[in-house]
Amino acid sequence: MAPALWASSVWESEGFDDAHRRATAMRADEFYGRYANPTVRAFEDAVADLEGAEDALAFGSGMGALATTILTLCSQGDHLVATRQLYAGTLALLQGPCRRFGIDVTIVDGTVPGAVADAVRPGHTTLVLVETPSNPRLELCDLDEIGSILGPFTVVDSTFATPMAQQPLAHGVDLVVHSATKGLAGHNDATLGVVAGERELIDALWGYGVLHGAVASPFDALNGVRGIRTLAVRTTQQSATAQHLAEWLDQHPGVSVVHYPGLATHPQHDLAKRQMRQFGTVLAFELAGGRDAARQLIDGVGLARPATSLGGPETLVCHPQTTTHASLTPDEQAECGVTDGLIRMTVGLEDADDLVRDLDRALG
């Protein structure tokens, strides 16, 4: 019932002609581990099915998936449009290595209708990159708008949503990217990235990925497949608990604002209802007491745990300003809405009322 673990990094050929066939075949999964692996292939097939894609390609991390996608599709002198609502590591990649390699990067506010399309330069823009919902404030981009952009390749980082909440390819987007370390694998014991889309595009990514070398481990891929087997039931409960916590926090006197697409007060709640089946397992909230209140909460939780990942069975809290977005300058943090009092919470599988009591104690 469970897929087999193929730990081998190299396979013996049957002779001269067979060795040549394997060495020159597209994604031969019994040749050399950097080219393909049967266990990794099982994970890729599962993700492709979930996303309604022709194919998928796994990587050793979400950043490996993003870096390979960008460097496959963009060359020196090309133009890339991205939203500012991105994970800090993605922003660092765009503003550092990409610009150093001569890729022209334009950053826009993805929550403004039409802003992404308006930034596209016909005949020059090669790639459009958005993240929705975004890290850490759960801001959204309109998937229909992104999918309708003609000319450049369109890429959506859908890590926070998982395929249980949304399928960007169904909106006309070319490629969907996940840090599968998070919700897809879902147990905090695998480091994976994955890209899904049309087979021709995925084959192009594979051709560069073999050289880039950010390949997925078969051990992690096996854990990724295991996580996918329970993805629907996990995210259904986690999303329901996240909604419960968001509504409770929204009434707490120590909290000034809650960022969660499932709340009617979220500025993009109508968009969330239109393009998401679940509102997600992650929420963020601003503490009225600023950094001191954030320290009190992080140090005071008992059931929830201070850690920076997301999507696993344990509820985690972090202070983005000093952890996930610490690499940004103060001005960049302010532009991304990362404030002194912002807390990001990824909801696990604990009882919702137990988590409320834990937060209530920590908030004082």
What string of H, E and C letters represents the secondary structure of 327-363? CCCHHHHHHCCCCCCEEEEECCCCCHHHHHHHHHHHH
Same domain, 194 and 328: no
In three-state secondary structure terms, 229 is helix
Domain end point (choices 184, 209, 229): 229
pLDDT digits (tens, 9 = 90+) for 7-16: 999 999 999 9
| 6 within domain boundaries | no
Looking at residue 328, its pLDDT comes to 86
Segment 271-285 shows an average pLDDT of 98
Answer whether 262's CB lies under 8 Å from 139's CB. no
Do 258 and 245 lie in one domain? The reply is yes
Nearest to 160 by CA among 143, 136, 144: 136
Query: Is 5 inside a domain boundary?
Result: no
pLDDT at 1 over 90: no
How far is the C-alpha of 297 from the C-alpha of 310, rounded, in Å? Answer: 18
7 in a domain, yes or no? no
pLDDT tens for residues 301-330? 999 999 999 999 999 999 999 999 998 889
Kindly write down the DSSP assignment for every residue of 286-324, as one continuous string.
EETTHHHHHHHHHHH-SSSEE-S--SSSS-EEE-GGGTT
Q: Looking at residue 149, what is its pLDDT?
A: 98
Sequence letter at residue 3: P
Q: Which residues are catalytic?
A: 34, 87, 157, 182
**pLDDT of the residue at 364:** 87
Asked if residue 69 and residue 37 are part of one domain, the reply reads yes
Other Cβ atoms closer than 10 A to 112: 11
pLDDT of residue 65 exceeding 90: yes
Question: Sign (positive/negative) of CA torsion 78, 82, 88, 89?
Answer: negative
Q: How confident is the model at residue 100 (pLDDT cuts 50, 70, 90)?
A: very high
Same domain, 221 and 301: no
Asked if 218 and 74 sit in the same domain, the reply is: yes
Instruction: Kindly state the helix (H) or strand (E) to which residue 169 belongs, with its residue range.
Output: none
Handedness of CA 188, 182, 354, 295 (dihedral sign): positive
- 301 and 180 share one domain: no
Same domain, 205 and 263: no
CA distances to 71, 131, 224, 243 from 260, in Å? 33, 15, 26, 8
* 44 and 57 Cβ atoms separated by less than 8 Å: yes
Q: What is the total count of domains within the chain?
A: 2
The answer to whether 76 and 101 are in contact (CB under 8 A) is yes
State whether 259 and 199 are in the same domain. no
> In angstroms, rounded to a whole number, what is the distance separating the alpha carbons of residues 275 and 144?
9
Domain-ending residue, one of 194, 229, 264: 229
Cα distances from 255 to residues 116, 154, 311, in angstroms, run: 32, 37, 23
Q: What CATH number should be reported for the domain holding residue 111? A: 3.40.640.10
CATH number assigned to the domain comprising residue 344: 3.90.1150.10
Last residue of a domain, one of 211, 229, 247: 229
pLDDT of residue 159 exceeding 90, the answer is yes
Is residue 3 over pLDDT 90? no
Q: Is residue 213 part of a domain?
A: yes
Burial class of 208 by CB neighbour count within 10 A (0 to 12, 13 to 18, 19+): middle
pLDDT of 2 strictly over 90:
no
Which of helix, strand or coil describes residue 124? coil
Question: What is the share, in percent, of the chain residues with pLDDT greater than 90?
Answer: 96
Q: Which domain holds residue 304?
A: 231-363
239 within a domain of the structure (yes/no):
yes
Count CA atoms closer than 13 A to 242's CA, side-chain side.
35
pLDDT digits (tens, 9 = 90+) for 209-256: 999 999 999 999 999 999 999 999 999 999 999 999 999 999 999 999
Whether 238 and 332 map to the same domain: the answer is yes
236 and 225 share one domain = no
Give every CB contact of residue 292 below 8 A, 6+ residues apart in sequence: none
Whether 206 is covered by a domain: the verdict is yes
Q: Are the CB atoms for 106 and 80 separated by under 8 Å?
A: yes
Residue 200 lies in a domain: yes
Classify residue 46: in a domain, yes or no. Answer: yes
**One domain, residues 201 and 142:** yes
CA 268 to chain centroid: 19
- Is the pLDDT reported for residue 336 higher than 90? no
Phi-psi sector, 136: left (phi>0), alpha (psi -120 to 50), beta = alpha
Q: Are residues 152 and 87 in the same domain?
A: yes
Q: How confident is the model at residue 29 (pLDDT cuts 50, 70, 90)?
A: confident
